[in-house]
Amino acid sequence: MKKYILIGCYILITACNMGTPAPEIESTPTATLLPLPIPATETPTIPPLPTDTPTLAPPPRFFTDEFDVPSDFWEFQQAGGNGTPAAAIENGALRIDIPLADTWYLGAYNAYTYSNVTVRVKISASAAGSMGLICRYDVSKGWFEFNIDSSGTYSLLLGQWLAPGVSKYIPIISDGSSLLNVDNVNSEIGLSCQENTLSLYANETLIRRLDVTNYGLTEGYVGISAASFAEPTTAFFEWLKISEE
């Protein structure tokens, strides 16, 4: 049994104000940084040893996060809705609790930025809602977000910040797949961002490939997302794999 460890100070959680409006949905656009000598009569002064805690070195650029221990390289933010979601490591998984309905939450892995990258994750949720993956997250430009939900539907969205805690989402594609469970979010999904093409996977099978040239996102962080619909939800991320392809 993996040890329960609260993220606490290890995970940065950006709390948002109560009553933050839900993310806006816009119409779909076309998708195609010489010491002085010491006098001989004077005793040299030995400087004290540094007391600052050294910065934790990041893991390799490509690796699998098993969510066994907290990491300083995850940054979580509310993207819309009410309440204050919380993230914690629990029993070898990343647990996200969303206490109110219609609330969006995302986590960015900020150790590295990536241009061409594939991210995969094993996910499950306790109630109706959506969970997903993010690539090319840039706070000033936006991000691509691939979600699946409890109705067996998947979607690819362009997310953009309007203000801290408030985002808008522009739908790029939405469809259903027999590879996704209905009334239950419990799947392995993947998002491959290579040059101008995004590929969406469910349970290791390609379900959609899209040209995203017109959106202008070329590099950024990868990450995860979770959202509640008509009721609160708890989302679990068992592991996340970052690879070149």
pLDDT band at 182 (very low <50, low <70, confident <90, very high): confident
- What ranges do the domains of the chain cover? 8-17+60-243
**How far lies 188's CA from each of 5, 10, 147, 148, in Å?**
24, 26, 12, 10
CA atoms within 13 A on the CB side of 110: 13
What per-residue confidence (pLDDT) applies to 12? 32
What per-residue confidence (pLDDT) applies to 36? 41
**pLDDT tens digit string along 199-215?**
999 999 999 999 999 99
Average pLDDT of the chain is: 83
Q: Using alpha carbons only, how large is the chain's radius of gyration in Å?
A: 21
Domain 8-17+60-243 belongs to what topology?
A: Jelly Rolls (2.60.120)
Contact (CB, 8 A) for 20 and 167: no
**Predicted structure pTM score:** 0.78
**pLDDT tens digit string along 6-63?**
333 333 333 333 344 555 555 555 454 344 444 444 444 444 544 454 457 888 999 9
CA distance 182 to 176: 10
**How far lies 46's CA from each of 36, 37, 49, 230, in Å?**
15, 14, 9, 64
What per-residue confidence (pLDDT) applies to 29? 52
Contacts for 138 with CB less than 8 Å, ≥ 6 apart: 217, 219, 220, 221
What per-residue confidence (pLDDT) applies to 76? 96
Task: Using DSSP, state whether 198 is helix, strand or coil.
Answer: strand
Cβ-count burial of 168 within 10 angstroms (0-12 exposed, 13-18 middle, 19+ buried)? middle
What per-residue confidence (pLDDT) applies to 22? 52
**What mean pLDDT do residues 88-100 have?**
96
